[in-house]
């Protein structure tokens, strides 16, 4: 079932076209990624979906609601985490949640929500004293306080250190597991690859492709490399006989196998049959960056 339908969305700022023509559908229960370089039109797209901007063309439906016509209805089903947090430095964590909860008739139990996002101990801390990761956790809690069916998260991990980023990813997965459909805007390939069920690649206000991360990568040929140091000499024929294998090369004591499909399992199984252990095994695959480059002629980063 689709919970969001965007058809031929078009949005201009004066004479600058931010979104040329964007269409996609988001299914209930998924993490749907909107991935693209800076200025591609991602934020403008989700701002239109969230009822924060009025489109110049196209149609939008969120749980059957038209965001332009029914903002109150939209607020009941959709929670938004905005790119830059607009909270005053001196507001306390609990005050922010209490304030946001007061906007809803039937809000979430916010002390419980605070625990869920791992901020229970920061209840009385001022917003200005929170770390970047804690601010983002609070912004997720604020997006969820209205018990939405859908949450829009925009550039959630920008500016976070690697540990805080991974912690935030776990939080996003927990939110999805609680039954909330998530639209995740990001320009981090790794984030989209790790979290998203499906991704819309956006470039210059248009959708370049929509697919699962693996599906997008497979579109660029899906060639992989498996590298290892065999525990005993291995004859090329052991591997060249596999349908997945295209080529074998050797550098020093390292074997590099290039191929397609389920290459790594096929290679390790063939080696196991010879009682050979592939030490220092590494698998290199095409990335979403490669897919983006192949589809648009441009690099993501
Ligand atoms: N309020 C605005 N007024 C005028 N131009 C804008 C406005 N907001 C965005 N733009 C322009 O519209 C284009 C798309 O911006 P948008 O923020 O939607 O892209 P984005 O993909 O989210 O990029 P970023 O990750 O940098 O936010 C950009 O060229 C941007 O400069």
Number of Cβ within a 10 Å radius of residue 119: 21
What is d(CA 204, CA 36) in angstroms, rounded to the nearest whole number? 9
Closest CA to 138 of 92, 102, 73: 92
What is d(CA 103, CA 115) in angstroms, rounded to the nearest whole number? 21
Is 277's pLDDT higher than 80?
yes
Ligand 1 atom nearest the C-alpha of 185 is 22
Q: Which residues of 218-256 are buried (b: 16+ CB within 10 A; e: fewer)?
A: bebebebbbbbebeeebeeebbeebebbeebeeeeeebe
Indicate the pLDDT class of residue 270, thresholds 50, 70 and 90: very high
| Whether the CB of 36 sits within 6 Å of ligand 1 | yes
| CATH architecture label of 2-218 | 3-Layer(aba) Sandwich (3.40)
Q: Determine the pLDDT at residue 85.
A: 62
**Domain spans of the chain?**
2-218, 224-285
CA geometry: angle at 224 spanning 218 and 225, to 5°?
170
Over residues 200-257, the pLDDT tens digits come to 999 999 999 999 998 998 887 778 899 999 999 999 999 999 999 999 999 999 999 9
CATH topology of domain 224-285: Alpha-Beta Plaits (3.30.70)
Q: How far is the CA of 13 from the centre of ligand 1 (A)?
A: 9
3-state secondary structure of 73: helix
- Checking phi first, is residue 28 left (phi over 0); if not, alpha (psi -120 to 50) or beta? beta
Indicate the pLDDT class of residue 83, thresholds 50, 70 and 90: low
| Whether the CB of 97 sits within 6 Å of ligand 1 | no
Rounded to two decimals, what is the model's pTM? Answer: 0.85
Q: Output the residue whose Cα is nearest ligand 1's atom 6.
A: 13
What is d(CA 40, CA 205) in angstroms, rounded to the nearest whole number? 5
- Checking phi first, is residue 200 left (phi over 0); if not, alpha (psi -120 to 50) or beta? beta
Over residues 22-57, the pLDDT tens digits come to 999 999 999 999 999 989 999 999 999 999 999 999
Same fold? 2-218, 224-285: no
């Amino acid at each position: 079932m689709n919970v969001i339908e965007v058809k031929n969305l078009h949005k201009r700022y004066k004479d600058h076209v931010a979104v040329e023509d964007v269409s996609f559908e988001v299914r209930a229960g998924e993490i749907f990624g909107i991935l693209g370089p800076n200025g591609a039109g991602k934020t403008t797209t989700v701002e239109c979906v969230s009822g924060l901007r009025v489109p110049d063309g196209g149609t939008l439906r969120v749980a059957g609601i038209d965001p332009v016509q029914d903002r109150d209805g939209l607020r009941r089903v959709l929670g938004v985490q905005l790119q830059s947090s607009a909270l005053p430095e001196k507001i306390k964590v609990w005050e922010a949640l209490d304030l946001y909860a007061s906007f809803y008739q039937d809000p979430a139990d916010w002390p419980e929500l605070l625990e869920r996002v791992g901020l229970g101990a920061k209840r009385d801390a001022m917003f200005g004293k929170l770390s970047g990761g804690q601010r983002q956790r609070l912004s997720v809690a604020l997006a969820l306080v209205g018990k939405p069916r859908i949450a829009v998260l925009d550039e959630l991990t920008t500016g976070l250190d690697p540990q805080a980023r991974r912690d935030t990813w776990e939080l996003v997965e927990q939110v999805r597991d609680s039954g909330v459909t998530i639209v995740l805007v990001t320009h981090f390939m790794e984030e989209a690859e790790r979290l998203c069920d499906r991704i819309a690649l956006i470039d210059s206000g248009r959708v370049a492709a929509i697919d699962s991360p693996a599906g997008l990568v497979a579109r660029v040929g899906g060639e992989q490399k498996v590298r290892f140091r065999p525990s005993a000499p291995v004859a090329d024929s052991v591997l060249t006989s596999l349908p997945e294998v295209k080529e074998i090369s050797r550098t020093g004591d390292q074997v590099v196998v290039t191929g397609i499909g389920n290459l790594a399992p096929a290679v390790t199984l063939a080696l196991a049959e010879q009682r050979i252990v592939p030490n220092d095994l590494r698998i290199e695959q095409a990335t979403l960056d490669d897919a983006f480059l192949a589809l648009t002629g441009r690099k993501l980063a």
